[in-house]
Amino acid sequence: MNQVKKSAIGAAFVLSLITALFVSRSIASKKQDHPGGGNGFAVLELFTSEGCSSCPPADALLARIQQEAGNKPIYILAYHVDYWNRLGWKDIFSNPQYSKRQYQYSEQLTGQVYTPQLVINGKSSCIGSDESAVNSGLSEALSGATGLGLDIKGQLQPGKVKLNYQLTGDARNTELLIAVVQKHAVSKVARGENEGRTLSHVQIVRDLQTFRVGADRQGSVQITLPGDFTTQEWELIGMIQQPKTGVMEAATRVVVSQ
């Protein structure tokens, strides 16, 4: 009788051990499927131009990512560079400031300047229309982690907005960037490589302001807004960036109130 009990107890122990190993492997597998599991975010900066025939597919890809993002911390910024303007069509959204920003990234990253180029969190870049590379970079960014928290609230005033920001974590040697973004626009291109085409754009950066972060990791700044700014058709995106390396440390959408 004792031998039977011992056999039963032994069998139960082996079964429980097998079950524990199975559960452990299942949990490990789930952790691999969702690496990081932290507070990652993705700032996708596309350098594009209406004068570039290779750019519309990149614009379309980012539009799809924007549509599918939901509540994920994905921040899309489309910078229209000006160096294509001399080739037959002047992009009305272009700005030499954005070309300069792209050249700065080229010094910090690959040394290459081209359109459509996508920079992800200031850490890596790829061809903006390469869906596989873009999705891979996006997934890696979201599965990462950040030691900084950023909160910005905006108060609308006639022709401008006052922004109050607060940081948590180590924000030494960083800058606060505020992008004024037009969510959507359509252009009919009359000349250049895209002659005769109607182009649809999303997340067009119309202004980019840079501020030093205060020693106490909080402060107030003020920026001028476009005359046609509305909270429905525009948005403000705040970012914390290391100016020397280009690495993005945090990002958020600005909560704007009247």
Whether 53 maps to a domain, the answer reads: yes
Closest CA to 237 of 174, 177, 185, 164: 177
Whether 190 maps to a domain, the answer reads: yes
Whether 194 maps to a domain, the answer reads: yes
Whether 16 maps to a domain, the answer reads: no
**pLDDT over 70 (residue 6):** no
Q: Spell out the residues 6+ positions from residue 67 whose beta carbon is closer than 8 angstroms to its own.
A: none
For residue 6, CA distances in Å to 2, 3, 15, 19, 43 come to 6, 5, 14, 20, 61
**pLDDT over 80 (residue 17):** no
Whether 83 maps to a domain, the answer reads: yes
Whether 174 maps to a domain, the answer reads: yes
Domain that holds residue 48: 42-257
Residue 110 confidence (pLDDT): 79
Give the least confident one: 12-26, 32-46, 104-118. Answer: 12-26
For residue range 146-155, what is the model confidence (pLDDT) as tens digits?
889 999 999 9
Whether 18 maps to a domain, the answer reads: no
Q: What are the backbone dihedrals phi and psi of residue 43, each rounded to the nearest 5 degrees, phi first? A: -100, 115
For residue range 77-126, what is the model confidence (pLDDT) as tens digits?
999 999 999 999 999 999 999 999 999 999 999 789 999 999 999 999 99
Domains contained in the chain, number: 1
Do the bridges between strand 74-80 and strand 42-48 make them parallel or antiparallel, or are there none, so unpaired? Answer: parallel
Give the least confident one: 6-20, 70-84, 241-255. Answer: 6-20
The average confidence (pLDDT) of the chain is 87
Whether 30 maps to a domain, the answer reads: no
How far does CA 38 lie from the centroid of its chain?
Answer: 16
pTM: 0.85
For residue range 162-174, what is the model confidence (pLDDT) as tens digits?
999 999 999 989 9
For residue range 54-73, what is the model confidence (pLDDT) as tens digits?
999 999 999 999 999 999 99
Look up the CATH number of the domain holding residue 205. Answer: 2.60.40.1930
Residue 151 confidence (pLDDT): 97
Q: Is the dihedral of CA 168, 169, 174, 179 positive or negative?
A: negative
Residue 38 confidence (pLDDT): 58
